Amino acid sequence: MRDHIRQKIYHVEALTPKQATADIAGDLEKFAEKYRTLHAAGCTICITDNPMGLLSFQGTEVIEHLGLPVDPQRLCLHLNTFHSKRDFDAILEACIGLGIEWLLLISGDGSVRLPRLSGRELGCDVPAVTSVELLKYVHREYPGRFRTGVAYNPYEPQEHELEKMRRKIGAGAEFAITQPILEKHPALDHFLEIFDLPVIVEAWMMKKLHLLSECVGYEIPEGTVHDPLESLAKLIATYPACGFYLSFLGMKTQLPEIGGLWQ
């Protein structure tokens, strides 16, 4: 991941179609177009895993179905705890088949419709599986096969969050991706002082902020004005040693602009 940062390769989020869609074919086509555009632009494509607990099609399945190109160094699959063991293993096997190496292992968002992995299934004695158990499982069952990252949340109480991060690193985390931030964040500054870990800062590329409030669980003051490109430029200047993860990137209006921001 340090190479990604050195080469100034953006990580760009790509959401697979939701299962509830009325137009699977249309949504798959849109996903394929976005994927190919990002691939051609040299970005690392980050494929989400049922974000917000909403049932979506699995990334590996979609890539296989659409015959999309896989660059092992520029594809990162998110994988969370809300899977059956059978599906979880199948996804990992599919990753191996497709040559996917980078995984972002996260606790994730559940819903009544999603099963949750149990500690027993992953061979550990814990009341609830978190990204730490996913890391241990992946590195135990597939040694040397995957490069794994985790999430870092600057909005959580930091004492607990930093302790969790130590456990994640101990379990094999090689990099961290932050929750979206809009500007310099003191918790992240502290994090960077403590850990010698490649950090990818998530930038919120949507003008509207209400969804960000929902995602990170803290109230963003009403009336906060957000210019995504300006905010990204400031983050790049503030965190020169970090990489950048772009959520909700506008493919027509923003993608052509971001290259010039990170020189």
> What residue ranges bind another protein (CB under 8 A)?
19, 24, 55, 57-58, 61-62, 65, 83-84, 87, 112-115
Q: Give the residue with the Cβ less far from another protein, 28 or 124.
A: 28
Between 117 and 258, whose beta carbon lies closer to another protein? 117
CB of 176 closer than 8 Å to CB of 150: yes
Work out how close the CB of 78 gets to another protein at its nearest, in angstroms, rounded to a whole number: 16
- Tracing tokens 């179905």 back to the chain, one arrives at 65
Which residues are CB-contacts of 27 (< 8 A; sequence separation ≥ 6)?
A: 17, 18, 21
Task: Give the list of residues 6+ apart from residue 211 with CB closer than 8 angstroms, or none.
Answer: none
- Give, in degrees to the nearest 5, the angle at Cα 245 between 240 and 248: 135
Q: By the 8 A CB rule, do 165 and 152 touch?
A: yes
Task: Tell me whether residue 57 or residue 191 sits nearer to another protein (CB atom).
Answer: 57
Q: How far is the CB of 128 from another protein (least distance, A)?
A: 12
Q: Where are the beta strands (DSSP E) in the chain?
A: 11-14, 44-47, 75-79, 102-105, 147-152, 173-181, 199-204, 243-247
Q: CB-wise, 87 or 141, nearer to another protein?
A: 87
Least spacing, CB of residue 25 vs another protein, in Å: 9
Smallest distance, Å, CB 12 to another protein? 22
